[in-house]
Structures are given as C-alpha cells and as structure tokens.
Amino acid sequence: MPKICSRRSFLGASLLPLVTTCLAAQQLESQEQHFVTKPLETGPASMEMTMQMSPDDDPVLAKALAQSVSQLRNLAPMEFLRRFDYGKVTSSGVREFDLTASDAQIEVAPGILFAAWTYNGTVPGPTLRCTEGETVRVHFTNRGSTDHTIHFHGVHASNMDGVYEPVKPGESKIYEFTAAPAGLQLYHCHSMPASLHMNRGLYGVLIIDPIPARPAANEMVMVINGWDTNFDRRNELYALNGGVNFYRDNAIPLRVNEPVRLYLVNVTEYEPVVSFHIHANFFKLYRTGTSKQAEEYTDMVSLGQAERCILEFTYKIAGRYMFHPHQNLIAERGAMGNFKVT
C-alpha cells in the first residue's frame, strides 16, 4: 500500500520505522481495504461512498430513507424472520451445518449497495437451530477475500472458539461442540479487527432449544444492526434483519390472541447500546433465554452489542402497531417496523 507508506513516512525519524510501517501496511491490506472501497458496480442502483456523509447532509441517503421499500437485492427480511436451519442429523446423531464465508454485494436500502462479507451469501447469516445436549458439527469454508472464523457464544473447548485459528481464503475448518446452554445464542466472525468483520455482516443467530421445548408460538428472529456505508466507523443507516425500513413498509402479519415469541439480537457495531420498544403492548422478557421464568414484564429492553433476549407477547386488538429502538435517531435512520394484527 504505497499511499499509506508515503503518508505515514512523515511520522518516522529513520528508515527502520518506515520499513516497519510499510510491512505492517502490506500485511493488513486485505483487512483495511474497506476504508477505500467503492460499490462493486455503477449505475442508477449504486452510489459512490464519500466521507462524512449522513442522511442529514447526503441527498442519496435521505432519498433512500424516504423511499418505500418493497424488494432488496440479495436480502429477504420477511423470509428471514421464520427461516430456521435445522441442518441434517447423521446416523450417529450428530447435527451438522454448512456455513460458507463469501463476499457479496447487497442492497441494504433502495439504491444503496454495500460490499458485505457474509455467511451463506446473506446478512444476517442463517439462523441455526438445535436442541440442548446435541453434538453440533459445523463445516465452515472460507471463500471470501480475507481470513475469517466463526465464534459461537456458548460453552465449548478453546480450540472450537474461533478466535486464534484463522481460516484463510480457500481453507476449511470443522467446529464441533455440545449444544449448551439452552437459550438464544449468537455466532460471528472473530478475526481481527472484529469490529470490521461484524460491521461487514459476518454474524448470525444460534437457537438452542431446551428440553422440554417451549410452548408453541409464532416464532420470529429479529437482528438489529447498523450500516456504516462509508466506512468511517460511524453508522449512517440502521436496520432490522439487514433491511433499512423494510418492516416499516412491509408490516409483519400477526393474528389476534396469537402467542408470539421474538428472538431479539443486537449486533450493532459502533453503538454502546440499542433499545427495542413495541407499541400498545407489553412483553415477557427472558434475557439470553437461558431461563423459562420471565425476568420482567415491560414494553422496552436495552441491549449492548451481542446481547440477546426472548420476548413473548400477544396482541388482543386488531390494528397496525409500531416497533423500533427508542433511540429515535436509530429508528428514523432505518430501524422502524410495524406489526399488522388481524
């Protein structure tokens, strides 16, 4: 990266610091390329990333937020809500999953393309589901452009932790562990810098069902995330299940008196906390889902990054009901949604 070497050379007092800096820059090139990334294609459906832009001063972002959302390229938030990947069970009783890291261009808002790093081609990655006590085996292949891993939240051996064992492009690794504890877990890339890998989209949900199972309900997964569209380590847009304002314009259908179970996960990078609020109702709150006893009965919960919880609620009256983070700026920049209860 000659440009970086030239800029940093002003800080050096001798040739050795300059050489050291150049070598370090070359080693980090694949990790730092996001700071100069451009859309993968040009045309009316793309935009050029510029520094210091926000919906307040950038007309492209402002237009994207105001525009009605119907479909997004390489994202399917409505289908993601209830798409559970149970893998396949071998003759020996092992539950196996396949995850592949790859680069993909996704449309996060109308006309806004993002060069993402993905598990299985989408953001969030697949929602993996198993039962406590099962042996889980995940076959991971890295077809991306830089080193990646999978770090599972839960209890497992250190060599299955996905931190110190980078998987290089073209290589594979098998992660194996006993599913524990029961509850709502998370997986994500832990290659350094981890903030970059999560910001680019390498995360997903792992549900470990308890024995006996929870009561039947209309179950959905909702992941709160931010989009740093110009890679200045600040979020310009926010989303639920990857799609900016998707559920604002495509209300989630529910039925009156129907038990609803929402698996809620916050993966938002660059924000210390994100809240979640439902209108005109309260929910039972199960933090991390490790207990079958609700900790609280409320209408709002606050989550740090990687915190997750299970919400259970029922609407008694038909109508259109809003939900969103109660940091209003985050809601106004894309993390807005509605339930349509009939």
Which is more confidently placed, 318 or 25? 318
329 within 8 A of 303, measured Cβ to Cβ:
no
Distance CA 129, CA 126 (A): 9
Task: Note whether 239 and 248 are within 8 A (CB).
Answer: no
CA distances, 287 to each of 277, 294, 295 (Å): 15, 8, 7
Q: How far apart are CA 223 and CA 308, in angstroms?
A: 9
Is the bond leading into 272 cis (omega within 30 degrees of zero)? Answer: no
- Quick: pLDDT tens for 76-96: 999 999 999 999 999 999 999
The residues that bridge with 187 in the sheet, in sequence order, are 152, 204
Q: How confident is the model at residue 57 (pLDDT cuts 50, 70, 90)?
A: confident
> Each residue of 3-51: pLDDT tens digit?
444 444 434 444 444 433 343 333 334 344 433 333 334 444 444 333 4
Mean local confidence (pLDDT), 58-63: 90
Specify the pLDDT at position 294. 97
pLDDT at 64 over 60: yes
Predicted pLDDT of residue 195: 87
* pLDDT, mean of residues 210-234: 96
Residues of the chain with CATH 2.60.40.420: 77-341
Mean per-residue pLDDT of the chain: 88
Summarize the confidence of residues 63-88 as an average pLDDT: 97
pLDDT in tens, 237-291: 999 999 999 999 999 999 999 999 999 999 999 999 999 999 999 999 999 999 9
Which tokens sit at 12? 């050096």
Say whether pLDDT at 196 is over 90: no
Give the DSSP per-residue string, 257-281: T--EEEEEEE--TT-S-EEEEETT-
pLDDT at 132: 98
Q: What is the CATH number of domain 77-341?
A: 2.60.40.420
- For 11-25, 100-114, 203-217, 268-282, which range has the lowest pLDDT when averaged over its residues? 11-25
| CB 229 within 8 Å of CB 107 | no
Most confident of 11-20, 112-121, 193-202: 112-121
pLDDT for 104 beyond 60 = yes
What's the angle, vertex CA 9, arms to CA 199 and CA 228, rounded to 5?
15
